[in-house]
Structure formats: C-alpha cells, structure tokens
Amino acid sequence: DVSVFLTASEFVVGPNRFPFAVVTNAGVTIDQAEIGVRFSLIDGDSRHFRPERSAGFREVVTMSPHVHEDGFVHNHVNARSYYVVDAVEFDTAGFWSADLTVTPPDASPFLASAAFTVKPQPSARGVGLRAPPTTHATLADVSDVAVLSTAEAPVLEMYEVTVADALAQGAPLVVQFSTPLFCTSSMCGPVYEEVASLHKRYGDRVRFIHLEPFNLSIARSEGRLVPTPPSREWGLENEPWVFVIDSSGIVRARFQGVVAASEIEAAIDRVLH
C-alpha cells in the first residue's frame, strides 16, 4: 500500500544526490521515518548489491495567503517532505534498484523499492564541469520584472546580472531554473522560496540568479512550454534545477526537483571555505 516516488530523474555514473518520497496509496506522505537504502545494479538475472545507506528526512515549508469572503487574510502552511541519500556513488551505467527498509514513528518496519536508470553522462550540466557563460535579459533590459519571472514576490537582485557577467566577476554563484506559475512538477514555487531565503543570508557574498526555463511570452499567450536558450545551453529536460558554482566557474553541486534550503546552504558553505 506504499509507493516510492523519486523526486529526481537524472542519475549518472559518479556521486549523486538520491531524493525520494514515501507515499501511501491514499496520497499521504510518510514523514520522520528511519530509512535504510540498499542499492543494487541489476545485471540480467543477477543483482550486485552495494552497502546500505541511511536516508535523511527533509522538509520544505512555505506560507501562502488565503483570503476569506469577508476580507480576512490568514496564511496557509504548505509542507513538502522528502528523504535524501547524500553522495551515492553509482559506478556503472544501467538499470538499478533501491530497496528501502522503512521504520515509521510508532509503527512496524516495512519494505519498499524503486527502480531507476543510471546514465553514463549527465544531460544537465554536471558536477565538476564549467558553468556555461550564459547571456540573457536582466532588469536593465525590461520595463517590468514580470517579463523575467513568474514568482509572486520576485527578489529583484536575482535579475540584475547575467550568468556570463557573474562568472566574469569571479564570485561564487547560485543559479536556479524554476517557473512558479508554469511548473509541471509543482516543485518550482517552494524551491524558489528556499533559494530566496538563502539570498537574504548569503547575498553579500554569493551571486544569486533566477532564470525561467520556458519562454514566458509563448507560455502566457499560447499556453505552450517552449524551453529558453539558457535551458537548452544547460541541458535541462525538466524543472526545477539549482546549481552551486564556485569562484572559478566550476559546478560544485546540483539539485533537481524539490530541495530544502539546508541542502543548498551546505553546498554554498563548501564553496565559501
């Protein structure tokens, strides 16, 4: 009666972040469980097991205003939870399995599993590679930030410079591709808010840039989602994505799908020290 949903789709040979959610058939996430994950490479009828790893619980909490008919406004708390196994090393491309032992709070353990594919090379810009010197419109090029962003409360500083200019300045950089309004994964809004919270904390030391992955003019007028040139340049096939880049322009961490600020913060701290 339980399913494992992977919240990322691109896994490659080398170190990976492995995020997932555990959901009942009624659509309820199982939170705060202790989870051990044993990965195995499937080779025909054989399985080559790797040592078991522990998964950590993460939660992304956002607030959204709700207006009553009488004008009273209160905030709804929106929480998205997931688990993640950090720095999983997949040494071979092919078909893999993740076998979970899940021990929920105050409940008996149970088993669950998920199958996935490991690619030999990444499509999205990979860790250890140089970030593309992407050029794109900024606030100086438009009359309204809404031309650049579908966020409800855009952080204007995230639209002031291009990726190319930020790389030339030689400062650490966080680049996020997300579209709160047109997101197909329903994860973009929460991820935008998580990155915005980090901008408040690190904005004096790290450049933050937000890019919409789809052409907003076409999305708004025709309802079609057409990837932008920056999305294609970074090799993105879905959204959202967050990349942490060091002062020499090398991608040091990347996060696909829902991600808590704590995960991104740890990657930022590594490039700052």
Q: What confidence tens digit (pLDDT) does each residue in 189-235 have?
A: 999 999 999 999 999 999 999 999 999 999 999 999 999 999 999 99
For residue 264, give the nearest of 236, 248, 241, 247 by alpha carbon.
241
Half-sphere exposure of 17 (CA within 13 A, CB side): 24
Amino acid at 71: G
Rg of the chain over Cα atoms, rounded to whole angstroms, equals 20
Rounded Cα–Cα distance for residues 172 and 177 (Å): 17
- What pLDDT is stored for residue 233 in this prediction? 98
* Per-residue pLDDT, 71: 59
* Span 228-250, average pLDDT: 97
- Helix, strand, coil shares, percent, the chain, to 5: 20, 40, 40
Task: List Cβ neighbours of 89 (8 Å cut-off, separation of 6 or more).
Answer: 14, 15, 16
pLDDT band at 61 (very low <50, low <70, confident <90, very high): confident
* Spatial separation of the C-alpha atoms in residues 24 and 5, rounded to whole Å: 11
pLDDT in tens, 89-146: 999 999 999 999 999 998 999 999 999 999 999 999 999 999 999 999 999 999 999 9
In which element (H, E) is residue 6 found?
strand 2-6
Neighbour order of strands in the sheet with 251-256: 207-211, 173-177, 241-245, 251-256
- CA distance to 22, 35, 143, 195, 205, per residue, from 55 (Å): 12, 6, 46, 23, 31
Q: Residues 155, 194: contact at Cβ < 8 Å?
A: no
Q: How far apart are the first and last CA of the chain?
A: 45
Q: Which two tokens stand for residue 245?
A: 């880049």
Listing DSSP states for 250-268 in one string gives BEEEEEESS--HHHHHHHH
How many whole angstroms separate alpha carbon 117 and alpha carbon 122? 12
Confidence of residue 66 (pLDDT cuts 50, 70, 90): very low
- pTM exceeding 0.95: no
Alpha helices in the chain (DSSP H): 163-169, 188-202, 216-222, 229-233, 261-272
